[in-house]
Structure 1
Amino acid sequence: MSTTAAEIEKLNEAFYNSIESGDLDRMTEIWAEETPNRVATCVHPGWPMLSGRAEVLRSWALIMANTPYIQFVLTDVRTTVVGDVAVLTCVENILTAADSEEATFAAGRVVATHTFVRVAEGWRLWFYHGSPVLQGDDDEEETEE
């Protein structure tokens, strides 16, 4: 793995650590400042597309404020760097506090794409897109065989 890919993966880990610890200051540092040609964009699983750094950071603040516990285990991490742009894809295996009284935890999977851009301060996140992986009866049958 190249040094640049390793840098991107380390920044990606910091992104998830900031969510787990509710560190909005660190999340703010990770996202790129906007320019006329570069607008932050974020698609949370099941949400409409958010555009603009302020709107994106507000969404993360809401998620952090309303999530008492969340943990990410990343798998299938792949990083491609082309010049000053890097794309990282991964599977987020998520464990979080459940909304119901019967279950203590809930689990889910999201396929995520992160696009990073190199700026004067280093690499910063430009786009995030998370898509839920639907799990149904078919997934349970495959694991039983």
Structure 2
Amino acid sequence: MPRTIYATPDDAEQAFYEALSRGDLEAMMNVWSEDEEVVCVQPGGSRFTGLASIREAWRQLFASGMKIKVRISHPIKTQAMLLSVHCVLEHVNIEGDDTIAPPMIATNVFSRGAQGWQMILHHTSPAPDTEGLLLQDTPRIVH
């Protein structure tokens, strides 16, 4: 499968969440940089470093058959010429589960290289306090 070149970090982030919602391992890995220093921390999970361990973590999650829908909101973005950091709230819904879960906090970091913008870090964790999260003034873009 030829690699998609993402023109912006927003394009790469959208592709990441679309791949997650579809449970599409190849599309998910297409978003990630081929650099071995990539890191992924899934909610309540371990820290995975390197493409092989990140691929295996996503493979296991997708193999479970769980259908995950994620909507992001309240982005805070910092972007430089070669690096972009997005801190977002993830609103996660599991297909077949009507529970409304509190949002999670995610940090997505993208680097720009010859192959366009690619993810180098994804870290999601439960929010310890959600009361003030949704009231903050957002979105914000810091340059």
Question: Does the alignment reach a TM-score above 0.5?
Answer: yes
Q: For 1:1-145, list aligned pairs within 5 A.
A: 7-34=8-35, 39-97=37-95, 104-108=97-101, 109-134=103-128
Gaps of 5+ in 2: 1-6, 133-143
CA distance in structure 1 between the partners assigned to 2:98 and 2:67 by the alignment: 9
CA–CA distance in 2 between the matches of 1:51 and 1:77? 25
| CA RMSD across the alignment | 2.2
Structure 1 residue 64: Cα displacement: 1.4
TM score, norm. by length of structure 1: 0.77
The one-letter code of the counterpart of 2:44 is G
Higher RCO (C-alpha 8 Å, min separation 6): 2
How far 1:133 sits from its partner (Å)?
Answer: 2.0
Q: Deviations over 1:67-115 (max 9, x none)?
A: 43211111101221112111011000011036xxxxx333432100011
- CA–CA separation in structure 2 for the residues paired with 1:107 and 1:46: 18
Query: Which of structures 1 and 2 has the bigger CA Rg?
Result: 1
Offset of residue 21 of structure 1: 0.5
Query: Percent of pairs identical after alignment?
Result: 26
Pair 1:21–1:8, CA change in 2 (3 A): same
CA distance in 2, matches of 1:135, 1:67: 30
1:142 is aligned to none
4+ aligned runs moved over 4 Å, structure 1 = none
Q: CA deviation at 1:22?
A: 1.1
The answer on whether the counterparts of 2:104 and 2:127 sit within 8 Å (CA) in structure 1 is yes
